[in-house]
């Protein structure tokens, strides 16, 4: 479902793919090669959502923002895993957000970071680039290895490939 809200329609770059039951509404601008999977919601009804290139928003994930307060900005090569919530925050490039993780208003997730499955990033938390955060509330677990950092690009590329299977 792709719908305008208050006269503003979502905009998409080239080669994006959306599952039939994904919901994308309102002030959403998405780059190229993005995918939004089954039952995921990208809801730009109360503020803007800006999404870079090669971002995958997996099954059941919710991307939202706060009215007159916080926008949501997501960089390039970001993977948002199943049932994660990304709300009114900034996610920089090459970030992996694990299954069921929650990122709250005002948080900033630095480039090349991993937010572990089930982690809760509380309001206004700043995750330094290249960090792995886990727990509730999430805390620094360790730094991302060089090998792990390469996974970000590969995961984003894989999701573009998976979407291609549905276009055949």
In the chain, what are the domain boundaries?
A: 2-167
Average of per-residue pLDDT across 109-116: 96
Characterize 125-145 residue by residue with b for buried, 16 or more Cβ atoms within 10 angstroms of its Cβ, and e for exposed.
bebebbbbbbeeebeeeeebe
**In whole angstroms, what is the distance from residue 69 CA to residue 152 CA?**
30
User: At the fourth CATH level, which superfamily is domain 2-167?
Assistant: Hexapeptide repeat proteins (2.160.10.10)
77 and 159 in contact (C-beta within 8 Å)? no
Res 152: pLDDT: 75
Does residue 128 surpass a pLDDT of 90?
A: yes
Average of per-residue pLDDT across 117-131: 97
Characterize 15-35 residue by residue with b for buried, 16 or more Cβ atoms within 10 angstroms of its Cβ, and e for exposed.
bbbbbeebbbbbbbebbebbb
**In whole angstroms, what is the distance from residue 133 CA to residue 4 CA?**
35
Convert the pLDDT of each residue in 51-65 to its tens digit.
Answer: 999 999 999 999 999
The answer, yes or no, to whether the previous bond of 137 is cis (omega within 30 of 0) is: yes
Weakest-pLDDT range from 62-71, 88-97, 117-126, 140-149: 140-149
Does residue 22 surpass a pLDDT of 80?
A: yes
Res 148: pLDDT: 74
């Amino acid at each position: 479902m792709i719908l305008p809200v208050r006269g503003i329609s979502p905009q998409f770059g080239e080669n994006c793919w959306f599952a039939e039951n994904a919901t994308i509404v309102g002030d959403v601008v998405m780059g190229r090669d993005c995918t939004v999977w089954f039952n995921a919601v990208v809801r730009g009804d109360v503020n803007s959502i800006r999404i870079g290139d090669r971002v995958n928003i997996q099954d059941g994930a919710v991307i939202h923002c706060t009215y007159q307060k916080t926008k949501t900005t997501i960089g390039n090569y970001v993977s948002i895993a199943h049932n994660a919530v990304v709300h009114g925050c900034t996610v920089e490039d090459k970030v992996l957000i694990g299954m069921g993780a929650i990122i709250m208003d005002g948080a900033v997730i630095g480039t090349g970071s991993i937010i572990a499955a089930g982690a809760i990033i509380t309001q206004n938390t700043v995750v330094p680039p290249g960090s792995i955060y886990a727990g509730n509330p999430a805390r620094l677990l360790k730094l991302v290895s060089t090998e792990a950092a390469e996974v970000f690009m590969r995961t984003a590329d894989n999701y573009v490939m998976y979407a291609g299977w549905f276009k055949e």
